[in-house]
Amino acid sequence: MNKTLVIIGHGMVGHRLIEEIRERDTAENWRIVVLGEEAHPAYDRVALSSYMAETTAEGLSLLTPETRRDRRVELLTGVGATAIDRTERRVSITTGDSLHYDALVLATGSRPFVPPVPGADLPGCHVYRTLEDLDGIRAAASPGTDGVVVGGGLLGLEAADALRTLGMRPHVVEVAPRLMPVQVDEGGGAVLARLVGDLGIEVHTGVATASVHAGEHGGVGSVELTDGTEIDTGLLVFSAGIRPRDELADSSGLPRGERGGFLVDGGCRTEDPHVWAIGECAAVRGQCHGLVAPGYRMATAVAEQLTGGGTAEFEGADGATKLKLVGVDVASFGDAHGTSEGALEVVYANNAQGTYAKLVLDDDATTLLGGVLVGDAGAYDVLRPLTGGPLPGPPEQLLLPASQSGGPTAGALPDEATVCSCHNVRKTDITEVISSGAVEDVAGIKSCTKAGTGCGSCVPMLKNLLDEAGVATSDALCEHFPQSRSELFEIVRATGITTFSRLIAEYGTGRGCDICKPAVASILAGSTTSHILDDEQAGLQDTNDRFLANMQRNGTYSVVPRVPGGEITPDKLITLGQVATEFGLYTKITGGQRIDMFGARVEQLPEIWRRLVEAGFESGHAYGKALRTVKSCVGTDWCRYGVQDSVTMAIRLEMRYRGLRAPHKIKAGVSGCARECAEARSKDFGVIATERGWNLYVGGNGGFSPRHAELLASDLTDEDLIRVIDRFLMFYIRTAERLQRTAGWIESFDNGLEHVREVVVEDSLGIAADLEAAMARHTENYTDEWGAVLNDPEKLSRFVSFVNAPDSPDPTIRFTEERGQIRPEPTDLPMPVPTTGRKTVTEEVSA
């Protein structure tokens, strides 16, 4: 390592350069010193908004353990550069020291543009750029009040959504006549404004911020717009664009571009042969690029020059963008505004569904030049790579939603089409590694080609290319675990591992995702006796399990206590009525013989459950992938047709399997005779009484593909019935895949039900005793989850609407009255999407 490379700036592009150099510099000629002004190492700034919800700074970090250990890389965080002496090749830094360099790369990025508005420097004015910025916004947010975002571009809408996540009422102010004016046209902007407005974000277009007025305490009190509108607010976020960070041009004498940025040639080299610039601070041939994908391409070009001595150049930027606000897709690519000479436009708009799509074609309508998609961007992954090439079919067919047209497929792409713009990976690069047999899943494609490791928008296309190549889908749980769910279950059982972090460290890679985390949480819940909200376990749960309640459409939660067999005392009925009245809940008797209560705010859940637990109720596990109910008819006690005591058996089974965590929810039924009043054959396992005992049916329901359960064993005694069900359920839990119902699980075996019968009834594998013992451990160690929460202050602290205002109810939750009960106030909001990770409840409300 006889040469020193100094990189000023440790953002996404600066970090990409480090990785590119490490990969290419096999002779270890370069020692790399990196200066990062922020306290945090490089992190995924594209996913910055997720930090406001579920993601931690560590979760966003791009710094891998391998890079941390690499002796070639020295990272100085919290250290910036103050001056460059090109004659001596030294960089002065904020510690007072200076660093020698043989090569210098400027990756200083950009800074947010704050318009010269009177009052823009008042306390309460923020920008939206770094983790520290978001920490400041979170601390200043006041749920139930108005917040203002200046700027209606991509980052401005993300900032507005972040304020909504914090329980505020966001206003977006955009000086252009439409939102996202760079990406979408007038028609797309109109649809986008309506969709964003439906999310509770008030849009002001065609106006600017005139002034910011101080409030009573010296901070922001209100914002005045140029049309005279005045918005009372204590929080203002500027997201009105960026400017290159090129201050070091003053001390170094390096020339700037006409609009700022270090002026560089096609190889990203300045007029000084020892100095390069990449990313947002680089004016390549005079033009700056504000997206991460062009910055990555610049990093690759510079790395090739430094390690290979070649003349690699930056080949230009793909300006395609794709935004996913909650419930709103927006995408644009190529010549989205039809500025090319002779360009033609084909437009599809469905105002009823809130979708807009436009293709821009050349003058003979055979070549795709660009497009805009709003409301449904499903075609983006195929259309963007087709830009500049011939259309694979009639344009109107490409524009129609996939449900109506079948949509374009990966096969429509020409071989030279760029699938991954972040790493400039072509379709042929991917199909070649697939056809060579070197890869069998998306993770393999990522490893071999780097496609999908940038912004991630091309990952669906990678899956399509695998499918079209006829590659069988791997049974790996996800890209972080090569094992299937059943294999991971056996690993946990054999090793005694009790935490996700240890499991992924020893048997997986990376940090996990919203697929493997809840799946592993379910495995651990079925293998240990710890509470699902204990320590690290809490962060793995999905939305419902994290709050031990089912989240409903308007962000409230349901309360569903267990009522075994549907049998309930009058006193308990009275308690349910009292609780529902006191907390203003909607009540409904379900098909599973219990009473659901809807409309509870998250901060009300502990007190509601305290009342219920004191009355003798326990969790009904309506929120979990677990046993829900065992439905029963009235049996021999009351029915003149009953031949067995179905109520007693239903209660016995429900109490035995309550809290049993599984790959999917489990429902059961017990009918006292062949008249089948409990509908047992529509359940995951169903029991029907006979004159000689019980018939056991399994694999009913099936979710999206309903089916009747099939007979597994007949004329069983009470004890034999329970023994076979023990084996069946535990065999299912150990071998089924993630979110696989019992019906699909049985069908996945060769010989289907016959194989299950051989294992469960005939003990062909010799594991029956082990399965029974595992179920016995479950029943012995069962504790009520809500009862445990009420006795643990740390767990109780999770149940707040806003982490930054724990005593404030969510102001977005509103009800109307119908038929004497509350109902969610009518809204066009999409249903909240359950997610994983550590979140504020406000994120759930806004989802």
- Placement of tokens 């082990």 in the chain: 770
Instruction: List b or e across 355-373, with b for residues whose CB sees 16 or more CB atoms inside 10 angstroms.
Output: bbbbbbbbeeeebbbbbbb
- Placement of tokens 């767990």 in the chain: 795
The reply, when asked if residue 420 is annotated as ligand binding, is no
The reply, when asked if residue 633 is annotated as ligand binding, is yes
Nearest to 602 by CA among 810, 408, 322, 838: 810
Nearest to 157 by CA among 327, 289, 39: 327
Q: How many residues does the chain have?
A: 847
The reply, when asked if residue 639 is annotated as ligand binding, is yes
8 Å CB contact between 3 and 30: yes
Which amino acid is it at 160? Answer: A
In DSSP notation, 698-741 reads ES-B-TTS-B--EEEEEEE-HHHHHHHHHHHHHHHHHHPPTT--
> What is the C-alpha radius of gyration for the chain, rounded to an integer number of angstroms?
30
Instruction: List b or e across 214-227, with b for residues whose CB sees 16 or more CB atoms inside 10 angstroms.
Output: eeeeebbbbbbbee
User: Alpha helix (H) ranges present in 316-441?
Assistant: 380-386, 395-399, 402-405, 427-435
8 Å CB contact between 530 and 498: yes
For residue 105, the 8-state DSSP code is E
- 519: its two tokens: 């799946």
The reply, when asked if residue 677 is annotated as ligand binding, is yes
CA distance 270 to 480: 41
Residue 175: how many CB atoms within 10 A of its CB?
18
CA distance 196 to 698: 46
Q: Please report, in angstroms and rounded to a whole number, the separation of the first and last CA atoms in the chain.
A: 50
Helix (H) or strand (E) holding 690: strand 685-690
CA distance 811 to 396: 43
Beta strands 202-205; 169-174: pairing state: parallel
β-bridge mates for residue 244, sequence order = 110
CA distance 722 to 724: 6
Helix (H) or strand (E) holding 191: helix 186-198
The annotated binding site for siroheme is made up of 677
The annotated binding site for [4Fe-4S] cluster is made up of 633, 639, 673, 677
The annotated binding site is made up of 633, 639, 673, 677
